[in-house]
Structure 1
Amino acid sequence: MKHYLKTYIFKTLSILPDSLGSKIYHQLQNVSENKNIEAKLKSTENTLSAFGNIFANLKVDLQNKSAIEIGSGWLPISPYILLHKYKLKEIYSFDINKHYQKINIEKFNSLFSKTYKNDIAVSRNNSYSLPENVHYFPSQNIINANIPKVDIVFSRFVLEHVTPEDIFKMHEKFKQSLNKGSYIIHFISPSDHRAFSDQSLSLQEFLKYSSKEWDKIQTRFDYHNRLRLPQYLDIFKSLDLEIVYISHDNPGPNSPQEQKFRNLKLHQDFSKYSEKELTAGSINIVLKI
């Protein structure tokens, strides 16, 4: 879909009364998110393979660890894989929205059981058909929630959709609430997400706008903070969180994406960053409290 069509849809929804706009958005996204679940399962498994490899290199045994997931999304894909493949003990999943639907999770339970030859033991007292060791906390901002003491906090492609102020507050809460030695791992996609469905755009396309110009384009339905790698690091360092692992990629020399970036006229707000800092994508970072 061309980026301006998606922007038009989100802009239309944003001028409706909040409850109506959110309802229509939820219905549209529900249809989209529940298409091709097999591909989403595979994609998440690939991300969590990196999760497992990172902790293996850090010599951290994941078995029987407990974790908080930031951003539940539409299905419990990450919790199921972490419990099944890496033998975590408990997953507490927090989301500012309420996207889980029992009928969709029941279908996913069947798919997961068939794919991994692992029967999902659903808790009788769970209204979402989740296992006993997956705890869902919808419609909760984790900054204001009572969170359990866990060994690991993780997010998958969530942090780029959180305001810088809330990223700071979130990690401040983790530092205050969790035991020293706990880990926080984020998989961050800092690129312009419109470019994923519209190949005419650069992955850094949104860096040509001022903050005011970008705020006129995005809405609450597709918010992106546009933070560059050094800005994330500055937030974490300001809280004295130890950075124990970091990786990212950049466009290859003379690749189409590098050419698109070089053709961009960046806004002066981003002029202090190097090309590598501006184009750093697929950021994986582990913090230690």
Structure 2
Amino acid sequence: MHWRIKGTLQKALGYLPGGDALHFQLQRRFGGLRDFSGELASKIDDWTIMAGHLRNAGREFAGMRGFEIGTGWYPTFPFACYLAGAARITTYDLNPHLRADLTRACVETLERFLPVIAEAGGANPEAVRQRYDALRERILAGDDLETASSGVIHYRAPADATKTTLGEGEVDVVFSNSVLEHVPAEVIEAMYRESMRILAPGGIMFHSVNCGDHYAYVDRKLHQLHYLRYSDRQWQRWNNAFLYQNRLRARYFVDEARALGFRIELNTATARPERLRQLASTPVHAQFAGIPPEELCITSVDFIARKPRTAEPA
């Protein structure tokens, strides 16, 4: 599909009554949800990457109190964290996208990933299997997430991740996966401030950000730096409620956390030769001219930002 067609269609759906339902049906028939098993496998891959980074940072899943920003249509990350032994996972979504049918499909499909979850999460395989069997039975019986997970998973939507109901120091890990690239800059700052408040001393944020042009996934003629051709005003023609892209570069997400007092312990941002070549052949708009090519070309970053254990000296 041509990217302009998709952008225009999504923008129109954003203004129509029932546009959310129509957009979901289009995703099921033509979008990422056509191959549910493949998409879920990709999410599990992302979760195992996060799990490795968290464990390298000294954060085990056993007993973990987590806060997820952006639940989505089905709760892959909360389920995987629960199966790995988390004590509590609170997951917020600005809009109530969670669907019972996809949640059931997620649980049933997760069975083949139990060994992966146990290994990546440092959990006992038998304990993972026991938790899974109980979860599956309850979800298929129609229980909500909190009941099905014995009180571990708390789903809140519509909910504002910049103003949570969580107490100060109540969370060990704040995390998101492919969410921050869809959030305005001022909201990201507010999320970081709230994360600093709810994190326990020494707690960490992990964010995986896909900051390339998402239209490249539907239009094979594009690469992920394509959207740098346009000014903010021009980009508004295709930016929309269903695929809002802030076009912030990888460095912004890390630097903003550092500026708010977090200590950066992981930053995977790398200028890949392929992206540098693509950038060299792209007529970049003047508003991006002040960003060095080695930063402008980066289209993904995983990072860990830790809340200091003690107050920084004035």
TM-score by length of 2: 0.82
Task: State the alpha-carbon separation in 2 of the partners of residues 120 and 36 from structure 1.
Answer: 26
Secondary structure of 1:284 counterpart:
strand
Secondary structure of 1:112 counterpart:
helix
Q: CA deviation at 1:120?
A: 4.1
Task: State the alpha-carbon separation in 2 of the partners of residues 239 and 170 from structure 1.
Answer: 11
Task: State the alpha-carbon separation in 2 of the partners of residues 79 and 176 from structure 1.
Answer: 21
Task: State the alpha-carbon separation in 1 of the partners of residues 81 and 35 from structure 2.
Answer: 21
Aligned residue in 1 for 2:90: 92
The alignment status of 1:10 with 2:10, answered yes or no, reads yes
Aligned residue in 2 for 1:138: 157
Q: CA deviation at 1:157?
A: 0.3
Task: State the alpha-carbon separation in 2 of the partners of residues 106 and 206 from structure 1.
Answer: 36
How does 1:202-241 map onto structure 2 within 5 Å? 202-241=223-262
Q: Report the residue type matching 1:202 in the other structure.
A: H
Q: Deviations over 1:38-82 (max 9, x none)?
A: 212221221122212212322333321110111001111111222
* Contiguous gaps of at least 5 residues in structure 1: none
Please identify, of 95-104 and 164-173, the stretch whose mean Cα deviation from structure 2 is larger: 95-104
Aligned with residue 294 of structure 2, among 263, 272, 276? 276
The alignment status of 1:198 with 2:197, answered yes or no, reads no
- CA, structure 1 residues 280+260, in 2 after alignment: closer, same or farther (shift >3 Å)? closer
Task: State the alpha-carbon separation in 2 of the partners of residues 230 and 113 from structure 1.
Answer: 37
Task: State the alpha-carbon separation in 1 of the partners of residues 236 and 190 from structure 2.
Answer: 22
**CA RMSD across the alignment:** 2.2
Aligned residue in 1 for 2:74: 75
Whether the 8 Å contact between 1:202 and 1:261 is mirrored in structure 2 is no
- CA, structure 1 residues 94+4, in 2 after alignment: closer, same or farther (shift >3 Å)? same
- CA, structure 1 residues 146+88, in 2 after alignment: closer, same or farther (shift >3 Å)? same
Secondary structure of 2:133 counterpart:
coil
Aligned residue in 2 for 1:184: 205
Task: State the alpha-carbon separation in 2 of the partners of residues 64 and 89 from structure 1.
Answer: 4
Q: CA deviation at 1:130?
A: 4.1
The alignment status of 1:251 with 2:248, answered yes or no, reads no
Task: State the alpha-carbon separation in 2 of the partners of residues 238 and 25 from structure 1.
Answer: 37
- CA, structure 1 residues 101+202, in 2 after alignment: closer, same or farther (shift >3 Å)? closer
Task: State the alpha-carbon separation in 1 of the partners of residues 85 and 8 from structure 2.
Answer: 44
Q: CA deviation at 1:258?
A: 4.2
How does 1:46-85 map onto structure 2 within 5 Å? 46-84=45-83
* Contiguous gaps of at least 5 residues in structure 2: 115-128, 308-314
Task: State the alpha-carbon separation in 1 of the partners of residues 222 and 110 from structure 2.
Answer: 35
Q: Report the residue type matching 2:162 in the other structure.
A: I
Q: CA deviation at 1:162?
A: 0.6
Please identify, of 107-116 and 230-239, the stretch whose mean Cα deviation from structure 2 is larger: 107-116
Task: State the alpha-carbon separation in 2 of the partners of residues 20 and 162 from structure 1.
Answer: 23
Whether the 8 Å contact between 1:65 and 1:88 is mirrored in structure 2 is yes
% identical aligned pairs? 23
Please identify, of 156-165 and 217-226, the stretch whose mean Cα deviation from structure 2 is larger: 217-226
Q: CA deviation at 1:35?
A: 3.1
Task: State the alpha-carbon separation in 2 of the partners of residues 70 and 3 from structure 1.
Answer: 27
Aligned residue in 1 for 2:124: none
Secondary structure of 2:171 counterpart:
coil
Aligned residue in 1 for 2:193: 172
Please identify, of 263-272 and 128-137, the stretch whose mean Cα deviation from structure 2 is larger: 128-137
Q: CA deviation at 1:34?
A: 4.1
Aligned residue in 2 for 1:119: 133
Aligned residue in 1 for 2:166: 147
Q: CA deviation at 1:286?
A: 0.5
Task: State the alpha-carbon separation in 1 of the partners of residues 183 and 299 from structure 2.
Answer: 17
Q: CA deviation at 1:125?
A: 8.8
- CA, structure 1 residues 4+226, in 2 after alignment: closer, same or farther (shift >3 Å)? same
Secondary structure of 1:248 counterpart:
coil
